[in-house]
Amino acid sequence: MRTLVIDASIAIKWVVQEAGTPEALALRKGARLIAPDLLTAECANILWKKTQRGELAADEADLAAQLLERADIELMPMRGLIAAARRLAITLSHPAYDCFYLTLALVRHAQFVTADSRLLQKIALHHDRTLSAAVVSLAGLNSP
């Protein structure tokens, strides 16, 4: 069974219908899913933003949070990833919290799946084969 690192852009699609939801749900079959424990805070923040914007009612956000808490994903401690995530953040000129997911994928020799177009663009512009090989967009995961 392959191991995939996922971020909040993927996990949130499991509980909120949006573009990419079917593809995100498909990841839950046939793969071991892992993420830095940062995922829980990021998902909570996304649900808060969606309620602030009127995209979700408070009770819908509560249900989504409960479902995420029961999701079959192995949360990994961020300790031990800080220095490498910081280096990647500086190299890519991108927020460090996103770089924790990529760092975890590199350390675990796993593939990082994200729907974060800004991060994907930064990695593509950097032209680093190691980084490019470690990350795939949700849309491109099943592309030929």
Q: Which stretch of 10-14, 81-85, 94-98, 126-130 has the lowest confidence by average pLDDT?
A: 126-130
Which structural domains are found in the chain, ordered by start? 2-137 (3.40.50.1010)
Confidence (pLDDT) at 128? 81
- Mean pLDDT for all residues in the chain: 92
Give, as one character, the DSSP assignment of residue 70.
T
144: confidence class by pLDDT, cuts 50, 70, 90 = very low
Query: For the residues 51-77, what does the mean pLDDT come to?
Result: 96
- pLDDT-above-90 percentage for the chain: 78
pLDDT at 140 over 90: no
Query: For the residues 92-101, what does the mean pLDDT come to?
Result: 94
Query: For the residues 44-48, what does the mean pLDDT come to?
Result: 97
141: left (phi over 0), alpha (psi -120 to 50) or beta: alpha
pLDDT at 142 over 70: no
Query: For the residues 24-48, what does the mean pLDDT come to?
Result: 94
Query: For the residues 99-117, what does the mean pLDDT come to?
Result: 95
112: confidence class by pLDDT, cuts 50, 70, 90 = very high
Distance CA 60, CA 55 (A): 10
